[in-house]
A and B are shown apart, each in its own frame.
Chain A
């Protein structure tokens, strides 16, 4: 099992809550490419690798009042918002690439993307380009029908096997 390191939980705790404002969340997403490029000591790559491992093993503790699946899906969306369209290595339930920005809407999309440049985050054009998305399509998706993925069949058994293999803690 990869334990949740202090660096990883600090990363989550610093940037991704949007109760009062989405500014930090948006900044984290827009900062990530530069952080990866200038990561001399490899610390941000380590956070990224750990992020992928926790998605793979469902080893993040469930969010307040949420199930493990909802929590996993929250982290998958953050992964997309921060690291881009490629699913985290080893993800047992990768999101189909075409879902993003059409039937699956993320926090970054809701807050930072708009069909008007004036209402869009400064970094959004670059963010969209890196993911092959078009602002108007994403903006339309925010207010139209989108689906979240239901918990897959056999997920409880999947979690039990991960727990038995010592890859996650039962919570």
Chain B
């Protein structure tokens, strides 16, 4: 990796923002320690009865007051230096990689105040501030995992997948159970395997961070592996920047129930609903969370840290692809963090995809999402 590719710039921005947090924490601790260190002798000296000792105590106390002032100046200077670098990197990103005009200058005034809020407002509104906000906002909660951890993670149990499927089927209305079982049991359907309630937090973290499939080790799952001789990740599983699941069989079943109720009332039924919205034998629907009665806590996932804008998300995916390369040639691991698609999404809901095979329509995938995709067909309440 070299030059000014956006994955390189992105990593540089992340590391500077982490440095800001470290510096601020370090200087805060130092300030507190110095103040305390000076105050203690001052108090000890004041406790002395001799006037000279008391005067020394007063001097020490005055000094202790001055030192934090100087530390505050140092802290402002540190923040300003970091913000200036981040601003310059974002300017490169904006102009060279995101087709944007050069950034307006940094506003140094808010940098005299410690904390993330002042730091953020120093950046010009728009691309720079939202980019810093999405990366900064995620840094504290985001974390990395190693290839070795992903590789050592235990495989999925087929029995757990089967049990989850049974529970989901039991949670839909009796008249839809047979169809839902058929959908979820089809070899081309990975909805339960990848997004079912049996999928663990760690499974999702490795799916987002290293593209490791949650059903790894079961029959029909992608043969994801870290090649022992050079550490390169070999896989055909291709997740995006979000890896999500339904937390319970009931939460999984509810939007399916709505879809089937919709289909029951659609002229011509399910077949016609799918045929009317298909392109070349494929259909992608978006079911809004509100109409499917998905609530906070019903869904969970790991997503790339600092992927809150389309530009930032595409940079993150590039860094992940670079991280999956051979040892010694690869980028550092990407950071990911937990999220609830329903709570954190701008327009949350469920996406579902069907494909037409030789024996009729198959549901291939079904998952909670923070928003519909571009031109995603939206299914509102059954009419």
- Residues of A near any B CB (own CB < 8 A): 7, 9-24, 26, 31, 35, 44, 63-67, 69-70, 73, 105, 110-112, 116, 118-121, 142-151
Contact = CB atoms under 8 A, between A and B. Distances in A.
A10 B279 contact: yes
Contact of A63 (B240, B310, B370): B310
Interface centre among A12, A20, A22, A121 (most CB of B within 10 A): A20
A153 to B, nearest CB: 11
A17 B321 contact: no
A7 B377 CA distance: 12
B371 interface: yes
A159 to B, nearest CB: 13
Contact of A15 (B95, B279, B318, B346): B279
Contacts of A24: 282, 284, 353
B234 A19 contact: no
Interface stretch (B3-11, B174-182, B247-255): B3-11
A66 B314 CA distance: 13
Interface stretch (B54-62, B98-106, B113-121): B98-106
Nearest to B239: A21
B325 interface: yes
Given A21-B240, A65-B310, A73-B99, A142 B322 contact: yes
B96 interface: yes
A63 B353 CA distance: 21
Interface in B196-215: none
A105 B97 CA distance: 11
Interface residues of B, number: 58
Nearest to B9: A145
Interface string B1-38: 11111111000000000000000000000000000000
Given A20-B351, A22-B239, A144-B2, 20 more contacts: A7-B279, A12-B375, A14-B283, A14-B284, A19-B371, A20-B240, A20-B365, A20-B369, A22-B238, A23-B238, A63-B374, A66-B311, A67-B99, A105-B318, A112-B238, A119-B236, A142-B322, A143-B1, A148-B6, A151-B101
B5 A19 contact: no
Contact of B279 (A11, A73, A143, A147): A11
29 contacts: A10-B278, A10-B377, A13-B377, A14-B284, A16-B373, A17-B373, A18-B240, A19-B242, A19-B369, A19-B370, A19-B371, A20-B242, A20-B244, A21-B239, A22-B239, A63-B374, A64-B310, A64-B371, A65-B309, A70-B311, A120-B236, A142-B318, A143-B322, A143-B325, A144-B5, A145-B2, A147-B96, A148-B96, A151-B99
Contacts of A23: 238, 365
Contacts of A70: 98-99, 310-311
B128 to A, nearest CB: 14
A151 B100 contact: yes
Contacts of A111: 238
B5 A146 contact: yes
Contacts of B241: 19
A110 B321 contact: yes
B277 interface: yes
Given A24-B353, A64-B310, A148 B371 contact: no
Interface string B298-330: 000000000001110000011001100100011
Contacts of A14: 278-279, 282-284
A109 to B, nearest CB: 9
B376 A17 contact: yes
Nearest to B7: A143
Contact of A144 (B3, B346, B377): B3
Contacts of B365: 20-21, 23
Nearest to B224: A119
